[in-house]
Structure 1
Amino acid sequence: MPQRRSVHTAPRPPVIGVTACIRTVDGSRTHTVGEKYIRGVTDGLGGLPLLIPALGDDLDIGAVVATLDGLLVTGSLSNVEPHHYDGPSAAAGTLHDPARDATVLPLILAALTAGVPLLAICRGHQELNVALGGSLHQRLHELPGRIDHRAPDSPDLDIQYGLAHPVTLTEGGLFQQLNGGDTRLQVNSLHWQGIDRLADGVEVEAVADDGTVEAVRVTRTESFAVSVQWHPEFKVRENPFSLALFGAFGDAARAYGTRRRAR
């Protein structure tokens, strides 16, 4: 009788929700996600990206969160509308995305409540702070003493996403651990807005030399939940810290997914 071969199944990849924006493409309203965020999930942590449309109230947030092992809140060219944090009216010409605001702000809160691991990037870093009750500076480059955090004026992505300035990591914090114990890290910079009033329930993990809050960790949940103002997803495998950050996010998502399926 022939022997039965043992069957080895590959570990199930974690399902990572990836937030989308609304853009008009050839006259049509379109839900879009930059490929670098998708590659951050596939290449940075071996996950399965699930794109979340910006449908606002027409999206069942609870059902979405129930399917996720992790949530990646993406960056965007648009800015959070200031009425969400009682801020002054935005300057003329500022790009907004109300459908994204209506989707992502409640999605962040639902994910944190459920304990879903979360990594938020750039606009996502700002959204996390607003969702938890903080506020934003709308034009950092106009504030006295601040450096210009906007992207270099170049069509070359390697220049746009090139390392721009250092940040100091909080002594004893998670990011210092991910950085091999070093408290200094070089990051890229492609943003206009930044955190003003820090939300309750978060701790600063990184700050730029001009005082701009560059990363936070959510303390109101025991799950992995962090945000960064820079873009670690760009060529994630070429930057040791970016790979460590996505790796930690992936480990947390796998652990959460195992517990979720057991329930």
Structure 2
Amino acid sequence: MDAQPLIGITTYLTRARWGVAWDTRAAVLPAAYAEHVQRAGGMAVLLPPDAPATAAATVRRLDGLVLAGGDDLDPALYGQERHPRAGAPVPERDRWELALLAEALRQELPLLGVCRGMQLMNVHAGGTLVQHLPDVVGHEDHNPVAGAFSDHLVKPLPSTRLGELLPEPCDVATHHHQGVDRLGEGLVVSAYAEDGTVEALEYEGRAAFALGVQWHPEVRSDLRLTRALVTASRD
């Protein structure tokens, strides 16, 4: 049996409560991320925020990387003031994940960005974000119920890596209020929502697996994207 590739998954850094009385700062992640990687044949390891200087060594120990969803990125990273509806920034997480992404690209580590992770890829490449998507699209369909996932249709583009993995339009799990505005250098769009929102990004001409999606594959049963990451990580 082939060894399971080791897939690192980034985590939140937030205050959390559990047990009888614990209420403290914690590195946390919804279990669905690790379970999805495990079902796809990978071994999941969580990567809480650390000093950016450790990113290179961390990436060398991994076979693949998932940049997980979560907190809004600090808009100062792309030269904007914070929108009234934007969440409070978590600079430790931003710095850590930007360093991980840079090293993953440099070392050609297979990677998958999920929601915030896709937005991070765009900002790292010099792009910008829409800080509150309803201001642009005029509806709340990407995040209709706080704390719950909804579904909407996305249309992958042919002749892209995503289009090869998902050749037909499909419903995906959505929960986000921000999105891509100006596209970062070297990135190409590989899927759109029906309202024109960018739903997937990849790097133009890059051989190593590196894909970002605005939706949350980990909360649905379709394993195609995560299996593709695990396969690339094993290879």
Q: TM over 0.5: same fold?
A: yes
Structure 2 CA distance for aligned equivalents of residues 35 and 62 of structure 1: 26
Q: List runs of 5+ in structure 2 lacking aligned partners.
A: 17-21
State the SS of the aligned residue for 2:231.
Answer: helix
Q: List runs of 5+ in structure 1 lacking aligned partners.
A: 1-9, 256-263
What's 2:19 paired with? Answer: none
Q: CA RMSD in A?
A: 1.8
What's 2:61 paired with? Answer: 67
What's 1:55 paired with? Answer: 50
Matches within 5 A, 1:159-170: 160-163=148-151, 165-170=152-157
Determine if the alignment matches structure 1 residue 206 to structure 2 residue 191: yes
CA deviations over 1:216-236 (Å, ceiling 9, x no partner):
11126320000000001113x
Structure 2 CA distance for aligned equivalents of residues 122 and 149 of structure 1: 15
CA deviations over 1:52-81 (Å, ceiling 9, x no partner):
111234x511110100110001011x1000
State the SS of the aligned residue for 2:183.
Answer: coil
8 Å CA contact retained: 2:150, 2:175: no
Matches within 5 A, 1:103-118: 103-118=96-111
State the SS of the aligned residue for 2:103.
Answer: helix
CA deviations over 1:12-66 (Å, ceiling 9, x no partner):
00010110111112442211111111112111x2111121111234x51111010
- Shift, 1:96, TM fit: 2.2
- Shift, 1:94, TM fit: 2.0
Structure 1 CA distance for aligned equivalents of residues 205 and 58 of structure 2: 21
Sort the Cα spacing of 1:92 and 1:137 in 2 relative to 1 into closer, same or farther, 3 A: closer
What's 1:174 paired with? Answer: 161
| Residue of 225, 228, 234 corresponding to 1:248 | 228
- Residue identity opposite 1:112 in structure 2: L
8 Å CA contact retained: 2:86, 2:132: no
Matches within 5 A, 1:27-42: 27-42=23-38
8 Å CA contact retained: 2:85, 2:132: no
- Residue identity opposite 2:8 in structure 1: G
Structure 1 CA distance for aligned equivalents of residues 197 and 143 of structure 2: 16
Matches within 5 A, 1:219-230: 219=204, 221-230=206-215
What's 1:193 paired with? Answer: 178
Structure 2 CA distance for aligned equivalents of residues 130 and 92 of structure 1: 19
What's 1:19 paired with? Answer: 10
Determine if the alignment matches structure 1 residue 142 to structure 2 residue 135: yes
Determine if the alignment matches structure 1 residue 129 to structure 2 residue 127: no
Identity %: 33
Sort the Cα spacing of 1:149 and 1:64 in 2 relative to 1 into closer, same or farther, 3 A: farther
The size of the alignment, in residue pairs, is 230
- Shift, 1:188, TM fit: 2.1
What's 1:218 paired with? Answer: 203
Structure 1 CA distance for aligned equivalents of residues 211 and 12 of structure 2: 21
State the SS of the aligned residue for 1:112.
Answer: helix
Structure 2 CA distance for aligned equivalents of residues 149 and 213 of structure 1: 14
8 Å CA contact retained: 2:86, 2:131: no
- Structure-2-length-normalised TM-score: 0.91
